[in-house]
Every structure is written in C-alpha cells, then in structure tokens.
Structure 1
C-alpha cells in the first residue's frame, strides 16, 4: 500500500468548516461542521488511524444552525467554538436577516477520549453538544470567526463581528464571558473577513483582514498598529502567521494570490505565489517546519509549497561534517552558502469542488486535511522523499 496515498471521507452534507484538534497531540483528529438547510447540522469527529490508514468517525448534533467556522480549544480537547447561521423565522422582526452567531460548546464526556465503542451507532442517534456560552452580542452583528489564544489556557478568545474585534475572557469553566472591544472605523460598510491571533509577542497581537486590507492590532490597548492598505487586488480570505518568525505573515485572497509579508516593512510583500487559478480560501503554515505551506482554492486544488527562502532555515539544515564523505563535503560547502530555492512540492487534485479549508494535524506534522464544499474531506501526507529531505 502506498503510504502517500490520500484517504477520503465523504459527508452527506455540504461543509466548509474544518479544524484540527490542537489540545490533544497524541491522536490525529479533525472536526468538520456541516451546512445543511434541511437537516440538523452535525459535527463529524474524524480520528485518523495512521497505522492502518483508516478513518474512524463519530457524529455530534449541532442543531443551532449551519456552520461557517469551527475551532478547537488549545487547552481542552472537549471544548470548541462554532460560528453558525441563525434565521429569525418565528420572531416578529419584519426583516428576515440571517445573523451569524458564535458559541462555545463542550462534547459529551465519552466522546473526548475517542475510545467509545461502535462509531456506526453514533450516526444513527447522535448526541448533542453542551452549550457553555454564547459569544454573540447581537448588537455587534454577524460573527465571521472565533480565534483562541494560541498556546493559551483556553480562557481567552477573540470574535470578529462586522467591524468589531471582541476579546472575551471565558470564566467559570467557560460558562461566562466578559468582553473588551476595538472598532474598525472608516467609510463604507467595514467588515472583517478573517483574522489570526499571533503566537508571538506574548499573544498581544492580532492580524485581521477586511476587504483588501490587512491590519495589525495590539490587544493590550485594543488599537491598530499597522495597516497594509491594498494587500491584495481583491478580498482577502485568510491569514496565517509563520510559527517560527515573529514578523512574518501569509495572506491569500480572491486575486488568486498568496502573499508573504514582513509586517515591519508593509509597502511590499516579501514573496508572492500565483499558482492557483481561482480564489484562494485558506493558507496554513506547518507548525514544525515553516517552509511548508498549504493553500486551498475554489479551483478545487490543494497546493503544498516549499517556501524555504523565507523560512527560519533558509540555508538548509546544519549537517555534521563527520557524517559526510570528502566528495559530499565539498558539495555541502558549495550548497551551504546559497539560499535554497522555493518550489511547489505537490498539487492535490482529489477534490471536485471548491476547497474552503486546509489544516495541518497538530499531532503529526507530516499530515494534513482539506475540505471541499461538497463535503469531501481528504487526508494527505507530505511526500515521503521531501519529509526525509527535511529531516535528514
């Protein structure tokens, strides 16, 4: 059996919300939230058994509505947030505005361990999530996404609602939340589309996207610290920080481009990738090897790039001279002075619909999942040859 072969899982509903479970690093687990207008929506817990190349799934009910975003607590593997649509059918409101709300949930205890018997049973009578607290103060409008404090204790989250940054402090085992806010001001209908909490600077910084701009915020003063006005030619869809280089940020958008920024010098991107032929929805740095970058697009493709020139190891690994023969040693010396070349490692074509999300596993740095709108989840591995090239 080919170890690099993809493993495909099909949901019966459309889906665009995907997250890796980050609190648990022993098991390879992804969570997928569905978008059905007719049926109760579900969260599929996907446990990947990498020894047998198999998926075990469990299903939990999310009857609050169709999910646009899902995110797992970094500290508690049973806790997650979802952003979901809520229509006011039964209310007296004359406007039928659909609001996107956000909430913090807990999985039933037997689901946390992943050890429950007969997963087939769970899809026939799925259990419901326990609501811990709502994160939507509807005065601030629809919520685009919820971000957990990276490396935090699972007590602080940010929600981006219309033009507001809301920083929540979850108290008393996440059942209560207090909030402080920052507001994006200017002309027109300002609205955040995406955001990323920086893992650097002691978790005091946030990057957000609205329209074609990328902004940095200081969460201590809730004030803007930089603004890249026309970061992309069209809407910015996603952002991610390089986990090992504190000022480096990747962005992607509807201009089909992926751009890399040093936020100290915002006039020009450091690099630009133009490999996708349609909107780029998702960009993710590998947590351990920051030259590896995943992107997913509505051209139905997932691209794995090797952005080694702007990584934390642009000149390759340090090689112990004792391990090299004379011939290799002279080659190594020539090679050691030149920065390595960026390249596209692989293009994955297993999807037939727009790829809305890509995520690296938190437990296995060589494994990643991608999700397309038709509900197809694909689990892939970094090609083995490249893995050994990076490691050895």
Structure 2
C-alpha cells in the first residue's frame, strides 16, 4: 500500500463542496460535474474536463446555481442534463437542469430549468437516474417516501407515476437503482437497506444494519451491493442471502462516507471518508454461493491486504467520489474544501 497523491488537481471551486458526478453521456471526454455548498455565497456548478494530454483539469463551464447543492447526478443519456438536490434557507427541492449550448469558463449563460420535483412532503435527499442508457423514469427519495416519475424533458414535464411511504420508523438518506433490473431500487436509512419493486411499490427485501451512509450496486455482477457504514466499514452483500455479508473491508479511520464499484473491473471498489482519505480496494469476485468460494478462501490471495492504495493528500473530509465511465481506470474525488483530484489506478488493475 502506498500513501499520498500524485493526481491532477483542480482548484477552481471557491466554496465548500460535497457533490461530484461523472458525465456518463460524454463519449468524447473524461468529464465531471461538481457543485458547491456555500451558505452565504452564490453557489456554482463546474463542468470539469480532463485535457487531451491528461495533464490538467480544465473548467469547460461555470454556472451559478440557486441554493446549496446536496446531491448531484448527470443524466446517463444526455451530457447536458443533470439533476441537483438543493437547499436555500428553509426551502428544499430538486431540479433537472440543462446546460446551455454556448458555454465557456467565463460569462456562461444561465442554466435552463427543465423539471422541478414538487409535491414531496419531506426533505428530498436524492434523485436517481436509471444507470444505463435512456429511460424515461426518474426516482426521487425524500426522508420517508419514494417517488417514481415519468419524465419528458422535451416538454419539460415530470409526472408522478407512483409513490410509497416507507413509514415514520425509517429516515431515508439515499438510494441506488439496480443496473441489472430497472424495476428494483435500494433505499438506505439509519437502520437498514431496503429493496423495492417499482412495479408494485412494495418492499421485497431488506438488510438490517447499523447506520448506512451509502450503497452501490456492482454493475458487472447481479445481486451484489456494497454498503458503507459508520462503525463497521464496508460490507459486500449478495441480496439473495441478506443475513450476512460475504465479504468485509475495514473502511476508514472515521466514518466511511461513500462507496463506488468500478464500472468495468468488478473487483475494484473505491471509498471515501471523513478521515480525509480515499481508499482503493481489491475484493474477492466471489459471492457467497459461488462454487469456487471455498477453495478461494484458502488461497494466498484471500489473505492479502485488500487495501491497494490510500490517497491521503486532503485536508478535509472527502464526501464525493466518482469513477469515469469513459476511462474506468480513472476516478475523481472532491474534498469539503472544494479540492477536486483525478487519479489513475492503471497500476492496480487486475491482470488478465
């Protein structure tokens, strides 16, 4: 394991920040969106791209945003669309924005509001896009409810298709949409991870845990979910056998805040935490019912340290991490002081 960072740094964010997202629909560039979280200043969304030489990060667009940005997600089929959950004073909401065509680093035209997700009785926590390709449904999650919306961006319309309350006993903080099944979403709260069938809006499964900060499906293997938890680090679960995790990772010295599977290499997992660190993990590719799991457990590779690298060149908590879909060997991280770092993990990729 190594420490520190040799990554490419972008210092254009002037304010505190938590949210960074890969622009999945940009097939020509390695690009990310980052949003600020300033209580007193006018907040911003930065469109950041890696230069063709991969030597620097360039601000391709700078857009003012009304309110503190608490959740940010890029549309998977249109690189100019993104969703943002915001707070402004006592107001909380979520909007899908469109980036104007004529934009640049300075004097960018304003963002165009396409859709506002109104009607939530509680504080909105997250907006979920179907992770792969074009889909006309979007999920919004507030502290006690799931909403499934039918989306028509060309007409600037979003209509509630169905909704369900998870009850006052739970306090939802986010969710993840199953990339293998567009009818399944996992919502996490302070005591469990719950799987919901969007066709019936009924809970189909749950994992009872300590406080879950984040969860992410493995995009390359069905039924596999990683959870980041306050006290117990990182767990990997096979949702068909939810009583026990099939693998555990130690996580971070303080809270493990975010967790992301690599979009291509199913054994690589990225995590970040309030210990001002980003960790790169190599996990077992075997879930608990694989026929090779028993022999694998006795192999030398299973006894190796799963922590491939710890990136420690941060002065604040790291709340945001995102793999690049275009170049899966690269990821971006965002610390609370607005520092964006892009790193390459090519030297750690599993040998074929």
Superposition map of 1:105-184 within 5 A = 105-111=97-103, 119=105, 122=106, 125-138=107-120, 140-171=121-152, 173=154, 175-184=156-165
Superposition map of 1:29-178 within 5 A = 29-49=31-51, 51-87=53-89, 98-111=90-103, 119=105, 122=106, 125-138=107-120, 140-171=121-152, 173=154, 175-178=156-159
Which residue is equivalent to 1:277? 253
Superposition map of 1:1-392 within 5 A = 5-10=6-11, 11-49=13-51, 51-87=53-89, 98-111=90-103, 119=105, 122=106, 125-138=107-120, 140-171=121-152, 173=154, 175-188=156-169, 190-201=170-181, 203-229=182-208, 231-232=209-210, 235-310=211-286, 338=299, 340-341=301-302, 343-384=306-347, 386-387=348-349, 390-392=350-352
Deviation, 1:245, is 1.4
Deviation, 1:371, is 0.7
- Cα distance in 2, alignment partners of residues 346 and 315 from structure 1: 30
Deviation, 1:280, is 1.1
- Cα distance in 2, alignment partners of residues 153 and 356 from structure 1: 28
In structure 2, the CA distance between the partners of 1:368 and 1:220, relative to structure 1 (3 Å rule), is same
Deviation, 1:136, is 2.7
Question: Given that residues 73 and 148 in structure 1 are in contact (C-alpha distance below 8 angstroms), is that contact kept between their aligned partners in structure 2?
Answer: yes
SS in 1 for 2:102: helix
| Cα deviations by residue, 1:131-161 (Å, 9 ceiling, x for unpaired) | 00101324x2211010101214152110101
Deviation, 1:184, is 3.5
In structure 2, the CA distance between the partners of 1:186 and 1:135, relative to structure 1 (3 Å rule), is closer
Which of structure 1's runs of 4+ aligned residues deviate more than 2 A?
Answer: 58-63, 180-188, 308-312, 337-342
Q: TM-score normalised to the size of structure 2?
A: 0.90
Of stretches 178-187 and 23-32 in structure 1, the one that deviates more from structure 2 is 178-187
- Cα distance in 2, alignment partners of residues 265 and 99 from structure 1: 41
- Cα distance in 1, alignment partners of residues 343 and 52 from structure 2: 11
| Cα deviations by residue, 1:368-387 (Å, 9 ceiling, x for unpaired) | 01111111111111052x23
Higher helix share: 1
| Cα deviations by residue, 1:237-294 (Å, 9 ceiling, x for unpaired) | 1110011211110010221511111111111111111131111111000010010000
- Cα distance in 2, alignment partners of residues 309 and 185 from structure 1: 33
Q: What is the aligned length?
A: 341
| Cα deviations by residue, 1:206-234 (Å, 9 ceiling, x for unpaired) | 001011200000111111000112x22xx
- Cα distance in 1, alignment partners of residues 314 and 154 from structure 2: 39
Question: Given that residues 104 and 174 in structure 1 are in contact (C-alpha distance below 8 angstroms), is that contact kept between their aligned partners in structure 2?
Answer: no
SS in 2 for 1:103: strand
Deviation, 1:59, is 3.8
Deviation, 1:5, is 2.5
Deviation, 1:196, is 0.2
- Cα distance in 1, alignment partners of residues 100 and 308 from structure 2: 40
Question: Given that residues 99 and 141 in structure 1 are in contact (C-alpha distance below 8 angstroms), is that contact kept between their aligned partners in structure 2?
Answer: no
- Cα distance in 2, alignment partners of residues 315 and 372 from structure 1: 41
- Cα distance in 2, alignment partners of residues 266 and 311 from structure 1: 12
In structure 2, the CA distance between the partners of 1:362 and 1:172, relative to structure 1 (3 Å rule), is closer
Look at both structures and tell me which one has the larger radius of gyration over its CA atoms.
1
Deviation, 1:38, is 2.0
SS in 2 for 1:62: strand
Gaps of 5+ in 1: 88-97, 317-333
Of stretches 371-380 and 44-53 in structure 1, the one that deviates more from structure 2 is 44-53
Question: Given that residues 115 and 153 in structure 2 are in contact (C-alpha distance below 8 angstroms), is that contact kept between their aligned partners in structure 1?
Answer: no
